[in-house]
């Protein structure tokens, strides 16, 4: 920053339009306006992305003994201290600050702040030229419900088509999409059609007996011709296409990602077999499409065989260097995971539709530091980390809120997460470099997230 003229900045709305001018890299700063005070603190009147000759504003607050991680912003900005007593570190320079202090920070310079007092340190962060954060690529697409078909007892398929003149993004076998339903719910469903399709997505939806409202809406209210928002495809269940042999195992509606994998492997001419389990033939979906593929299929229906499939015997008789994939109800997947481990199978993969662990409401209080904004939040007992972030106005992509879809994966910069999801790999959990904020929490006193 080449020149700064510091003048008192009033926090009183009646005097907030007083003439205040700063110069940052020879760019004139217009008088600060547009700040008001209410019970929740200082707030910007408009979105933090501005155009023209204006400011973008953020409120940074940290409690007694708290501090921000050292971080870097691509924009020049300054801290104006509203209340409290602390210190601001800019590069190698440490400055003690109190109410009315102004600390300029040049673009790209590491900085941090720390509370030295016994009350909250509150600072107004002022950006000019305006801050425009890189927003994540939008995940929502506009789709039309082209067809709804009965596939089995309590199972329908929904075929979605893109808007005229456009195509859907490509997807990999095993991927899923989120449906943003008109009733406000967001639900994730696996794609079951061929990954070679460019003009459609097809999902299978089971009308769950204890539905939270999503599958019931699809079955009872969604109609052909309806316009609906969907996400871009995501995959937490990748297919290794070059395996010497692939064994696919599906239970009930878990056939949806498995069917897409079977289509892909058949198209590539790979060695593949399928075990499909259901409680009865009436509840087995996509049977004709499976048979049309022409590959080896083992069928197991509980009401005909009299018991659940013997997974350990099935797995033990397959070649050990095969790649094994399973999707279905929790008891089946628990057996699959356990037997695969006991048999020493090296390539075992699964996808769950229902979270295995308990919900993520914390039973203790901990702090979350947001490295990009320098904000500090407290997660209270009885609340999830995701709820805390959303209540504070932090925009976090999310969908299932059960730890099974991966939409809310967030990078962890410091601290030890309490992983409660069913989507992260063992290596991801062990590294503690990423967490799902919808159900996971904190094992220690604090976390630092890349938000």
CATH at 329: 3.40.50.80
**109 and 180 fall within a common domain:** no
Q: Give the per-residue pLDDT at 35.
A: 37
Nearest Cα to 141, choosing from 264, 70, 56, 227? 227
Please check whether residue 13 lies inside any domain of the structure.
no
> Which residues constitute the domain of residue 286?
246-352
Please check whether residue 7 lies inside any domain of the structure.
no
Q: Give the per-residue pLDDT at 56.
A: 65
Q: CB-based contacts of 87: which residues, under 8 Å, 6+ apart?
A: 94, 95, 96, 97, 113, 114, 116
At 423, which CATH number? 3.10.20.30
**227 and 252 fall within a common domain:** no
Q: Give the per-residue pLDDT at 422.
A: 82
Please check whether residue 116 lies inside any domain of the structure.
yes
Retrieve residue 386's tokens: 């995701």
71 vs 301, higher pLDDT: 301
How far is residue 327's CA from residue 17's CA, in Å, rounded to a whole number?
Answer: 61
194 vs 364, higher pLDDT: 194
**209 and 292 fall within a common domain:** no
Q: What is the mean pLDDT of residues 306-324?
A: 93
- pLDDT above 50 for 51: no
| Sheet strands side by side (includes 446-449) | 375-379, 366-370, 446-449, 409-414, 434-436
Quote the number of domains for the chain: 4
Out of 59-73, 113-127, 289-303, least confident range? 59-73
Question: Is-contact 145 222, C-beta < 8 A?
Answer: yes
**118 and 27 fall within a common domain:** yes
**220 and 255 fall within a common domain:** no
112 forms bridges with which residues in the sheet?
89
Residue 230 — pLDDT band, cuts 50, 70, 90? very high
Pick from 134-138, 172-176, 400-404 the range whose average pLDDT is largest: 172-176
How far is residue 208's CA from residue 25's CA, in Å, rounded to a whole number?
Answer: 60
Q: What is the mean pLDDT of residues 8-36?
A: 38
**275 and 227 fall within a common domain:** no
Nearest Cα to 388, choosing from 445, 444, 441, 443? 441
**57 and 114 fall within a common domain:** yes
Write the Ramachandran bin of 334: left for phi over 0, alpha for psi from -120 to 50, otherwise beta. alpha
> What are the distances in angstroms from CA 13 to CA 9, 29, 323?
11, 19, 65
> Which one of 207, 231, 255 terminates a domain?
231
- pLDDT above 60 for 185: yes
- CA angle 425–427–431, rounded 5-degree value: 120
- pLDDT above 70 for 129: no
Q: What is the percent of the chain with per-residue pLDDT over 70, rounded to a whole number?
A: 82
- pLDDT above 60 for 21: no
34 vs 403, higher pLDDT: 403
Q: CB-based contacts of 304: which residues, under 8 Å, 6+ apart?
A: 280, 281
**32 and 112 fall within a common domain:** yes
SS in 3 state form for the chain? CCECCCCCCCCCCCCCCCCCCCEECCEECCCCCCEEEECCEEEECCCCCCCCCCCEEEEEEECCCCECCCECCCCCEEEEEEECEEEEEECCEEEEEECCCEEEECCCCCEEEEECCCCCEEEEEEECCCCCCCCCCCCEEEEEEEEEEEEECCEEEEEEEECCCCCCCCCCCCCEEEEECCCCCEEEEEECCCCCCCCCEEEEEECCCCCCCHHHHHHHCCCCCCEEEEECCECCCCCCCCCCCEEEEEEHHHHHHHHHHHHHHHHHCCCEEEEEEECCHHHCCCHHHHHHHCCEEEEEEHHHHCCCCCHHHHHHCCCCCCEEEEEECHHHHHHHHHHHHHCCCCCEEEEECCCCCCCCCCCCCEEEEECCCCEEEEECCCCCHHHHHHHCCCCCCCCCCCCCCCCCEEEEEECCEECCCCCCCHHHHHHCCEEECCCCEECCCEEEECC
Determine if the peptide bond prior to 217 is cis (ω within 30°).
no
Please check whether residue 236 lies inside any domain of the structure.
no
Please check whether residue 287 lies inside any domain of the structure.
yes
Question: Is-contact 34 348, C-beta < 8 A?
Answer: no
Q: Give the per-residue pLDDT at 17.
A: 36
**253 and 220 fall within a common domain:** no
Residue 432: burial class (beta carbons within 10 Å; 0-12, 13-18, 19+): middle
Exposure class string for 351-364: b at 16+ Cβ within 10 A, else e: bbbebeeeebebee
**171 and 254 fall within a common domain:** no
């Amino acid at each position: 920053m080449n020149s700064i003229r510091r003048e008192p900045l009033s926090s009183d709305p009646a005097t907030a339009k007083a003439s205040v001018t700063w110069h940052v890299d020879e760019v004139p700063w217009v008088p600060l306006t547009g700040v008001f005070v209410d019970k929740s603190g200082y707030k910007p009147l408009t979105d933090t992305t501005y155009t023209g000759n204006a400011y973008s504003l953020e409120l940074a607050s940290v409690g007694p003994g708290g501090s921000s991680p050292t971080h870097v912003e691509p924009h020049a900005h300054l801290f104006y201290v509203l209340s409290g007593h602390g210190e601001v570190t800019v590069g190698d320079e440490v400055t003690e600050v109190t109410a009315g202090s102004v600390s300029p920070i040049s673009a790209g310079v590491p900085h941090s702040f720390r509370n030295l007092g016994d009350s909250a340190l509150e600072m107004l962060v002022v950006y000019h030229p305006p801050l425009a954060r890189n927003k994540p690529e939008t995940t929502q697409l506009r789709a039309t419900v082209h067809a709804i078909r009965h596939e089995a007892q309590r199972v329908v398929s929904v075929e979605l088509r893109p808007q005229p003149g456009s195509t859907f993004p490509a997807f990999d076998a095993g991927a899923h999409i989120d449906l943003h339903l008109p009733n406000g719910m967001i639900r994730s469903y696996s794609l079951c059609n061929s990954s070679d399709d460019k003009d459609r997505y097809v999902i299978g939806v089971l009308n769950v007996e204890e539905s939270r409202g999503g599958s019931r809406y699809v079955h009872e209210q969604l109609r052909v011709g309806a316009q609906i928002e969907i996400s871009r495809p995501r995959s937490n269940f990748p297919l290794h296409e070059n395996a010497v042999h692939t064994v696919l195992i599906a239970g009930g509606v878990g056939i949806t990602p498995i069917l897409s994998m079977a289509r892909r492997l058949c198209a590539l001419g790979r060695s593949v077999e399928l075990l499909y389990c259901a409680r009865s033939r009436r509840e087995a979906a996509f049977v004709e499409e499976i048979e049309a593929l022409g590959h080896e299929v083992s069928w197991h229906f509980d009401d005909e065989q009299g018991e659940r499939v013997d997974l350990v015997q099935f797995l033990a008789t397959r070649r050990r260097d095969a790649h094994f994939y399973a999707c279905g109800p929790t008891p089946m997947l628990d057996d699959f995971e356990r037997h695969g481990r006991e048999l020493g199978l090296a390539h075992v993969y699964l996808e769950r539709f229902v979270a295995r662990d308990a919900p993520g409401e914390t039973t203790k209080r901990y702090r979350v530091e947001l490295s990009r904004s320098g904000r500090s939040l407290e997660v209270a007992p009885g609340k999830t980390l995701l709820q805390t972030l959303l209540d504070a106005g932090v925009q976090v992509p999310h969908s299932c809120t059960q730890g099974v879809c991966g939409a809310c994966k967030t990078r962890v910069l410091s601290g030890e997460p309490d992983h409660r999801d069913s989507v992260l790999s063992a290596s991801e959990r062990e590294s503690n470099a990423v967490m799902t904020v919808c159900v996971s929490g904190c094992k220690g006193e604090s976390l630092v997230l890349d938000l």
